[in-house]
Every structure is written in structure tokens, then in C-alpha cells.
Amino acid sequence: MQVNENKDFEPVIVAFCCNWCSYAGADLSGTNRLNYPTNVKIIRVPCSCRVNPMFILRAFQRGADGVIMCGCHPGDCHYTSGNYFARRRMTLLFSMLDYLGIERNRTRVEWVSAAEGAKFAETMESFTADIKKLGPNRRLEDLRCRKQ
């Protein structure tokens, strides 16, 4: 991997967070002043089951370098079953992206509860580090959307 090239690389990372657990967990890491990289930008969705594979591809198309989806822990979904469906969808989607040769660490699912502010910050820290290691998203992007 071209680690040296990526020294000044600041990846764009999109995090989809469910309103009830993970978005609250992200708020908690703020309340506790737990630092994580500014690269991560959060999009609030009602539930992880609202995340359409289309959104993830769209993010990559427009130049995201990594996409992470966070939801309530299995069994704790506010809507009881949403994250179970999300888990299957994301597992299959990620497997397909991997099969197409997209670097597998560009996508991740993490279950973060409203009480896990520290876990949220750690997760974002480690995910950003992974993406920095991988370098810019080149395999799944729309060249027309590339920043000049």
C-alpha cells in the first residue's frame, strides 16, 4: 500500500447514525468531550434499517473515502427489528463490494448504544485510521465528481 503518499491525506468519512442509539451515543461523546477526527460527518437517520445501499454507493460516488453505519445493538432497536434487517442488508452489500474488489475496510457496521460515547469516539478514531491507511477511494468513485 502507498502509505507514504497518504501522509497528508484527509479522508471524507460519512457516518449514518440511527436517531435513538448511535446518534445519541455520538452526542454523548461530545458531552464527554471525547475527541475524534473531524473527517467524520454524521447523517441522522431514524433507524439503521433506513440506510439504503444506494446511499452508501452515492457517498462513494461523490468522493467519500469511507462509510460507516451505526445502529442500536441487536435486540435494542427502538423499532424492535430494524437493525436485524439492516445487518443482513449490510452484510450482503459489503460482501458484494468485497467481491467486486472494493477494499473491504472502506465500509463498516458498528452497534453503538446511547450510553457508549467512548465507544463511538474510539470507533470513529479507528475507522478514520483504517481509511487513512487505505488512501483515497479510487476503485469506487465517479471521476466527474472528483474535487479539483
Partner 1 sequence: MQEAIIKRAKELLADGSVNRVIGWKKGEFVYDITPAVFETAEEIDADFVYNELTSANVSKYLVKETKKDGKVLVFLKPCDTYSFNQLTKEHRINRENVYVIGIPGGPKLDVEKIKAKGITGILNITNDNGTLKIETLYGEETMPFADAVSTKCENCKSKKHVVFDELIGEDGDITDTNRFEMVEKLENMTSQERFDFWRDQLSKCIRCNACRNICPACTCEKCVFDNPDLGTDNKAAADSFEENMFHIIRAFHVAGRCTDCGECSRVCPQNIPLHLLNRKFIKDINSLYGEYQAGEDTTSRAPLTDYTFDDCEASIVHERGAE
Partner 2 sequence: MQRIGVFVCHCGTNIAATVDVKAVAEALGHEAGVVISQDYQYMCSESGQNLVKDAIKEHNLSGVVICSCSPRMHENTFRKAAAAAGLNPYMVEIANIREQCSWIHKDIATATEKAVILGRAAIAKVHLNAPLTAGESPVVKRALVIGGGIAGIQTALDIAEAGFDVDIVEKSPTIGGKMAQIDKTFPTLDCAACILTPKMVEASQNEKIHIHSYSEVSDVKGFVGNFSVTIKKKARFVDELKCTGCGLCTEKCPMKKVPNDFNLGLDNKTAIYIPFAQAVPKVATIDPEYCIMKKTGKCGLCSKVCSAGAIDYNQEDKFVEEKYGAIVVATGFNPIKLDKYDEFAYNQCADVVTSLELERLMNAAGPNGGTLLRPSDKTHPHKIVFVQCVGSRCDDSKGKPYCSKICCMYTAKHAMLIREKYPDTEVYVFYIDVRTPGKNFDEFYRRAVEQYNVHYIKGMVGKVTPKADGKIDVQASDLLSNEQLHIDADMVVLAAAIEPDKTARPLATMLTTQMDTNDFFTEAHPKLRPVESATAGIFLSGACQGPKDIPETVAQASAAAAKAIGLLCKNSITCNPCVAHADELMCNGCSSCEKVCPYGAITYQDKEFRMPNRTIAVRRVASVNPAVCQGCGACTVACPSGAMDLNGFSNKQIMAEVDAICK
The secondary structure element, H or E, covering residue 66 is strand 66-71
Nearest to 127 by CA among 82, 87, 68, 80: 68
Please identify, among the stretches 9-17, 26-34, 79-87, 117-125, the one whose residues bind partner 1 according to the rule CB under 8 A. Answer: 79-87
Site string for partner 2, 68-107 (x = CB under 8 A): -------xx-xxxxx--x---x------------------
* Residue from 53, 79, 122, 135 in contact with partner 1 (CB under 8 A): 53
Among the residues of 16-116, which ranges form H helices?
Answer: 22-31, 53-61, 82-99
Nearest to 117 by CA among 42, 36, 10, 63: 36
* Residue from 2, 33, 38, 143 in contact with partner 1 (CB under 8 A): 143
Cα 7 from Cα 103, distance rounded (Å): 19
Q: Does 133 bind partner 2 (CB under 8 A)?
A: no
Give the nearer residue to partner 2 in terms of CB position, either 40 or 103: 40
Site string for partner 2, 7-46 (x = CB under 8 A): -----x-x----x---xx-xxxxxx-xxxx-x--xxxxxx
Long-range CB pairs of 4-7 (<8 Å, 24+ gap) are: 5/135, 6/132, 6/133, 6/135, 6/136
Q: Does 79 bind partner 1 (CB under 8 A)?
A: no
Residues 133/51, Cβ–Cβ less than 8 Å:
no
Q: Which residues bind partner 2 (CB under 8 A)?
A: 12, 14, 19, 23-24, 26-31, 33-36, 38, 41-47, 49-55, 58-59, 62-64, 75-76, 78-82, 85, 89, 121, 145
